[in-house]
């Protein structure tokens, strides 16, 4: 019985010491958006604090700040973009698998998919 309890405690300590997928989002990412008007390349810097996600995203169209939430390997982020056609609120959903991200985005008048790879 003692050995079983000891093995269980060691297992819990090992799990607590394992980095979470959430912290794996931290850093710089090269992104590609597949939009109704073609592909758009961008870069993002992400920071995770608990279940909160924040950062900046840059493309040829400029730079925006975003906020979001993280749950395990999945996340959601939101940001606004000012265009000549007005303000667009964009929501992105994604999932992390190692050094790659992929997901979908919705800008209110359409949707698309996106992917990203960690920058070295």
Phi, psi for residue 2 in degrees, rounded to 5: -65, -40
- Domains of the chain and CATH, by start: 20-118 (2.40.128.120)
- How do residues 48-106 score in pLDDT, each as one tens digit? 999 999 999 999 888 999 999 999 999 999 999 888 888 889 999 999 999 999 999 99
Q: What would you measure as the largest C-alpha separation in the chain, in angstroms?
A: 70
pTM of the predicted structure, to 2 decimals: 0.77
CA 116 to chain centre: 9
HSE-up of residue 24 (Cα within 13 Å, Cβ side): 19
Q: What is the pLDDT of residue 23?
A: 60
- How do residues 6-41 score in pLDDT, each as one tens digit? 333 233 233 333 333 446 899 999 999 998 889 999
HSE-up of residue 59 (Cα within 13 Å, Cβ side): 13
């Amino acid at each position: 019985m003692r050995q079983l309890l000891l093995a269980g405690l060691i297992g819990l300590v090992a799990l607590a010491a394992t980095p979470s997928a959430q912290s794996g989002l931290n850093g710089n990412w090269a992104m590609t958006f597949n939009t109704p008007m073609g592909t758009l390349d961008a870069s993002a810097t992400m920071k995770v604090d608990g279940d909160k996600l924040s950062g900046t995203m840059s493309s040829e169209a400029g730079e925006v700040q975003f906020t979001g939430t993280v749950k395990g390997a999945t996340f959601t982020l939101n940001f606004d973009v000012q265009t000549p056609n007005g303000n667009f609120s964009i929501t992105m959903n994604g999932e992390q698998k190692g050094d790659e991200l992929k997901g979908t985005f919705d800008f209110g008048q359409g949707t698309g998919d996106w992917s990203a790879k960690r920058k070295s």
